[in-house]
Amino acid sequence: MPSVKTPNHRSKNRLAAQASKAKKIRQKRSEENKNKIAKTDAMRGARPGLMPNSGPNAPLSKKKAKKLEKKIAHAMRRKIEAGEDVDLTDAKAEEADGAEEKDVDEMETEQIE
């Protein structure tokens, strides 16, 4: 875009701005390649050692992390409660079987001695 004063070329300020912008973009691209940062994450502010500000790879806030931890704990509690009924009936049957097997093993060792 030629300036009004000199229609034949761009002003020094425009040229400098264009060059600095190109330099900035070039540096970002080379950083992404060196550190294997995804382009989408880099667009969201990710740098080496920094996570992106938004998107799926963004770190959870402390509040969301606590809520998520509570949800997971509650789900685990429900799973355990639902599974206890089944586990208890199986466990009693296994304990009874195990007791009989122990008696047989003890008898064999007593006979050997």
pTM value > 0.75: no
Looking at the structure, do residues 49 and 73 belong to the same domain, yes or no? no
Looking at the structure, do residues 44 and 69 belong to the same domain, yes or no? no
Looking at the structure, do residues 50 and 64 belong to the same domain, yes or no? no
Domain count, the chain: 2
Looking at the structure, do residues 68 and 52 belong to the same domain, yes or no? no
Instruction: Tell me the residue type at 94.
Output: E
* Buried b / exposed e along 63-101 (16+ C-beta atoms within 10 A): eeeeeeeeeeeeeeeeeeeeeeeeeeeeeeeeeeeeeee
Looking at the structure, do residues 75 and 32 belong to the same domain, yes or no? no
pLDDT digits (tens, 9 = 90+) for 43-94: 888 888 888 888 888 888 899 999 999 999 999 999 999 886 554 455 555 5
Residue span of the structural domain in which 75 resides: 60-113
